[in-house]
Amino acid sequence: MAKGMREIKRSIKSKQNMKQITKAMEMVSAAKLKRAQNAALASRPYADKLREVVFSIASGSSGVKHPMLQNREVKRTAYLVITSDRGLAGGLNTNLLRKLLISIRERHSSKDQYAVFVIGRKGRDFLKRRDIPIVEEVTGMSDSPTFADVKPIAAAAVQGFENGTYDELVLVYNEFRNAITQIPTLQKLLPLDASELNGAGNGAKADYEYEPSAEEVLQVLLPKYAETLVYSALLDNKASEHGARMTAMGNATKNATKMIQQLTLTYNRARQAAITQEIAEIVGGANAQA
């Protein structure tokens, strides 16, 4: 009995230590979430304004041609996958990568038909284990990434579409809604949606003057716009990561609390049973001597 009680007490101590760790991680993630959420929200006005300018020029200028605006037969697709470097974030990465795998299996019959650019250690390891072809990877992204951090891989993916290596570029990331809800998203980044271009002409529209020509302006703005969308998706995914980790660590803390309560109850019952047994033995010994 004494041995069993020692094991229970040791288990309670272990759960208490784990609870302290998960509680601290929850608080750290909550602080990081606030900063990541603010960064994600702050990046949207710039992306929206750049989109307005690009679509206004593209839809308002006849004869403007650019590879990013042209739909072509899809023979090879590039996926730009954004995941986290660390785990302990619930099903955040797993749900996203499973959705990517389902899309790949449904759309492609050969590895020659697609390629993957990946940001984040979790995505890289997951895809390598399944022998998915990875063109370029970036790991070790900070909790407050800058545009310079993501520009090389974003530019490589966009350039691959421009020069015809890929006929379609799909962005794969977790869209941040709130701390509890993150939506695994596969968004076609390139070519730009023709319906959006047509819709850009509806309503009030600014009258832009540009030099030397619409084509040359778009030649600069379109790649930057696509790279900005990748950066915005990265910020969304960072906010999603911290929100998911905060929620996961909060749930872990609650579960640890319940386990500690159950073990404490078991320990008290065992202790009470041991005391009762000792009293019974003492009384029995006294009666025997009488």
Nearest CA to 55 out of 216, 228, 161, 208 is that of 208
With 70 as the cut, is the pLDDT of residue 62 above it?
no
Q: What is the mean pLDDT of residues 77-82?
A: 96
Write down the pLDDT at residue 281: 77
Write down the pLDDT at residue 275: 83
Question: Is 19 a member of any domain?
Answer: no
Share the mean pLDDT of the chain.
Answer: 87
Question: Is 204 a member of any domain?
Answer: yes
Question: Is 43 a member of any domain?
Answer: yes
Write down the pLDDT at residue 68: 78
Task: Report the run of H or E that residue 170 belongs to, with start and end.
Answer: strand 168-176
With 70 as the cut, is the pLDDT of residue 3 above it?
no
Structural domain span for residue 111:
27-247
Question: Is 177 a member of any domain?
Answer: yes
The CATH number linked to 107 is: 3.40.1380.10
Higher pLDDT, 40 or 174: 174
Least confident of 37-41, 163-167, 200-204, 281-285: 200-204
Q: How far apart are CA 98 and CA 93, in angstroms?
A: 8
Question: Is 282 a member of any domain?
Answer: no
Q: What pLDDT digit, counting tens, does each position of 8-33 carry? A: 899 999 999 999 999 999 999 999 99
Higher pLDDT, 6 or 66: 6
Q: What is the mean pLDDT of residues 109-117?
A: 94
User: What's phi and psi for 135, nearest 5 deg?
Assistant: -80, -45
Q: What pLDDT digit, counting tens, does each position of 117-162 carry? A: 999 999 999 999 999 999 999 999 998 899 999 999 999 999 999 8
User: Are 129 and 117 spatial neighbours (Cβ–Cβ below 8 Å)?
Assistant: no
190 Cα distance to chain centroid: 21
- What's the pTM? 0.84
Question: Is 17 a member of any domain?
Answer: no
Nearest CA to 140 out of 72, 84, 98, 189 is that of 84
The count of domains in the chain is: 1
Q: What is the mean pLDDT of residues 220-241?
A: 91
Write down the pLDDT at residue 201: 47
Q: How far apart are CA 133 and CA 77, in angstroms?
A: 12
Question: Is 74 a member of any domain?
Answer: yes
With 60 as the cut, is the pLDDT of residue 98 above it?
yes
With 60 as the cut, is the pLDDT of residue 247 above it?
yes
Nearest CA to 124 out of 149, 93, 147, 103 is that of 93
In the chain, pLDDT over 90 holds for what percent of residues?
Answer: 56
R_g of the chain, CA atoms, integer Å: 28
Q: How far apart are CA 149 and CA 156, in angstroms?
A: 13
User: Are 149 and 141 spatial neighbours (Cβ–Cβ below 8 Å)?
Assistant: yes
Question: Is 3 a member of any domain?
Answer: no
Which tokens go with 101?
A: 């795998």
Q: For the sheet containing 134-138, what is the strand order? A: 134-138, 114-119, 77-82, 168-176, 182-190
Write down the pLDDT at residue 192: 79
Which tokens go with 220?
A: 């600069």
Q: What pLDDT digit, counting tens, does each position of 196-227 carry? A: 555 544 555 566 676 777 777 778 888 888 99
